[in-house]
Amino acid sequence: MDYLTRFDVAEYSGVSMVVVESDLLPPDASIVVIPLLSDYLAVRHLNPELQIDGRRLVLATRLIAAVRRSSLRRTGSVADQGDLITRAVDILMAGV
């Protein structure tokens, strides 16, 4: 099991995902993630396009989920795009 922090990119069953759970929470067997998809319909601010290893992937914010940490394999980080991800989660939860 890889150590994961907020805005890490990890693979789960062949799908890239971004960790959105705060690093301040106590450890748990599951972690909250949002899938990154190439063919997802983007809604402005809710589904930002992120640059990952030269690819543009859409943050599928409405598909937010919790998965078992042990099922994830860390592949990178998008911490430099964290503001876009945080805005998307804020829009999902509060509509603003």
Chain segment 58-84, per-residue pLDDT in tens: 999 999 999 999 999 999 999 999 999
pLDDT for position 94: 95
DSSP string over 25-92: SPP-SEEEEEEEESS----TTTS-EEEETTEEEEE-GGG-EEEEGGG-EEEEE-GGGHHHHHHHHHHH
pLDDT for position 2: 66
Residue 60 lies in a domain: yes
Mean pLDDT, rounded, of the chain: 95
Residue 3 lies in a domain: no
Residue 1 lies in a domain: no
Q: Is 63 exposed, middle or buried (0-12, 13-18, 19+ CB in 10 A)?
A: middle
Residue 2 lies in a domain: no
Residue 46 lies in a domain: yes
Tell me which residue range forms the domain holding 66. 8-94
pLDDT for position 76: 96
Question: What are the tens digits of pLDDT across the range 15-61?
Answer: 999 999 999 999 899 999 999 999 999 999 999 999 998 999 999 99
Q: What's the whole-model pTM score? A: 0.94
Q: Is 94 exposed, middle or buried (0-12, 13-18, 19+ CB in 10 A)?
A: exposed
In the chain, the number of structural domains is 1
pLDDT for position 96: 77
Question: What CATH number is given to the structural domain containing 81?
Answer: 2.30.30.110
pLDDT at residue 1 is higher than 80: no
Residue 42 lies in a domain: yes
